[in-house]
Amino acid sequence: MLFNSLSFVWFLGLVLALYYGLEHKWQNRLLLVVSYVFYAAWDWRFLGLIWFITLTSYLAGLVMGRSGNPAQRRAALATAAVACLLPLGFYKYYDFFILSFAHLISLVGLPASLPTLSIILPVGISFYTFQALGYVIDVYRRKQPPESDPLIFALYMAYFPHLVAGPIQRADHLIPALRSRRAVCRSDIGIGLELMLIGYVRKVAIADAVAPFVSACFTAPGDSGGLNLLLGLYLFAIQIYGDFAGYTDIARGMSRLMGINLMINFRQPYFSTSLQEFWRRWHISLSSWLRDYLYISLGGNRHGTIQTVRNLMLTMLLGGLWHGANWTFVIWGGLHGLYLSAERLLPGARAPEKDHWSWRILKTVVTFHLVVFAWLFFRADSLAAAGDYFAAMMHLGTRVQPHLLALTVFYCLLTAVIDYPLYQADAEIWPIRAEKWVAKGLSYGALAVVLLFLGETHAEPFIYFQF
């Protein structure tokens, strides 16, 4: 059930109609039931998987909360971690590692006939697995008290707005919101609707609109010419941002309609002046998760430059592999690890707040193009396909297709028009005061017109649903 489908609009409308008429405890029960219905609409067979991870994490939290024995606490943590990571490893990485190993042994002349399973990937497994792991680690570190109410914990794991593609919620943020009574006020409804409108424009009118042109470039790069492939790469940068940030806006907006505020996941990342800033603004729930539970656990930057670079590389390589079982994602993560390491090593690579505006613009342009280059590997189906695309892009003599250039300029400008006011005000919605209702109405009316006239009529899956 896609957020950008008519069936989901009816589903959400029915949920809200029931939700507003119930008391708090029944609201939570309703949300848990509809969350499981929502997940079952993708594939009911995987409900057992999310129930298993939920139950294991819940019980491990109770054991760690009640025990003062370090060995028992470590055993509970280890049990929960294995219960979370084994399904993720099996469903997502079994074929990848088998095929990679088969290729490796074939290089030395050994027989390479190994069984593969072509396993269907459960939607959202990477997200709710990390959410469960974050909870049990926080309980183990005594940063989070164990949740005793099984209904609250099950809802924390399965809450449908963020279930299949995040943001990855922290227990100390979402569980208190689920436990407390919620009074949905006018501002919640206003902000929720504005977030959803912005999200639908990002997804339907921008990401889905440029998707066919991106696909054409990546399907047959030899037919497009170098400069046109560069434009295709720019369009993919716009597509993936509009697609994923649009999903987050819609998720946060519908949750706000229910009085529950999910964490911000994007803060205009393409305006970043460094790669470190980019990762503070892009997929914030994942980047902060990797920082807190992996990078810092490895030692962070506490043991000298060499150890810091090693920790950055390991974190980003694993972060790349988290996105998908393909060496292209490992290369993508490795590139970002190299970028971040270079910023640590090169003096003046990270811009102070008092940099001259021209220097900040230059750094923004350089950062953006480093990110765009890495997107090539993220989008390519294989390393060979990425190499073919890059080689074809180096042939710059071909004329630019005027319509592709016009599309690229238009959608880049449309994205900037939406993002720049948010970036300047560091806000989640356009900073127009409620009393300026004419300006507010015209602004969001313009977005509605863009959605109506530029939006794609068929529902395209969100890119991050495959992760």
Distance CA 120, CA 231 (A): 33
Location of structure tokens 């460094």: 274
Catalytic residue among 24, 323, 356, 369: 323
Distance CA 76, CA 232 (A): 49
Structure tokens at 266: 């994007």
Distance CA 96, CA 328 (A): 12
Backbone region of residue 300 per phi and psi (left: phi > 0; alpha: psi in -120 to 50; beta: other values): left
**Can you give the chain as a three-state secondary structure string?**
CCCCCHHHHHHHHHHHHHHCCCCHHHHHHHHHHHHHHHHHHHHHHHHHHHHHHHHHHHHHHHHHHHCCCHHHHHHHHHHHHHHHHHHHHHHHHHHHHHHHHHHHHHCCCCCCCCCCCCCCCCCCHHHHHHHHHHHHHHHHCCCCCCCCCHHHHHHHHHCHHHCCCCCCCCHHHHHHHHHCCCCCCHHHHHHHHHHHHHHHHHHHHHHHHHHHHHHHHHHCHHHCCHHHHHHHHHHHHHHHHHHHHHHHHHHHHHHHHCCCCCCCCCCCHHHCCCHHHHHHHCCHHHHHHHHHHHHHHHCCCCCCHHHHHHHHHHHHHHHHHHHCCCHHHHHHHHHHHHHHHHHHHCCCCCCCCCCCHHHHHHHHHHHHHHHHHHHHHHHCCCHHHHHHHHHHHCCCCCCCCHHHHHHHHHHHHHHHHHHHHHHHHCCCCCCCCCCCHHHHHHHHHHHHHHHHHHCCCCCCCCHHHHC
Distance CA 247, CA 459 (A): 13
Known active-site residue 323: yes
Residues 6+ apart with CB under 8 A from 209: 411, 454, 455, 456
Distance CA 147, CA 138 (A): 12
- Catalytic residue ranges: 323
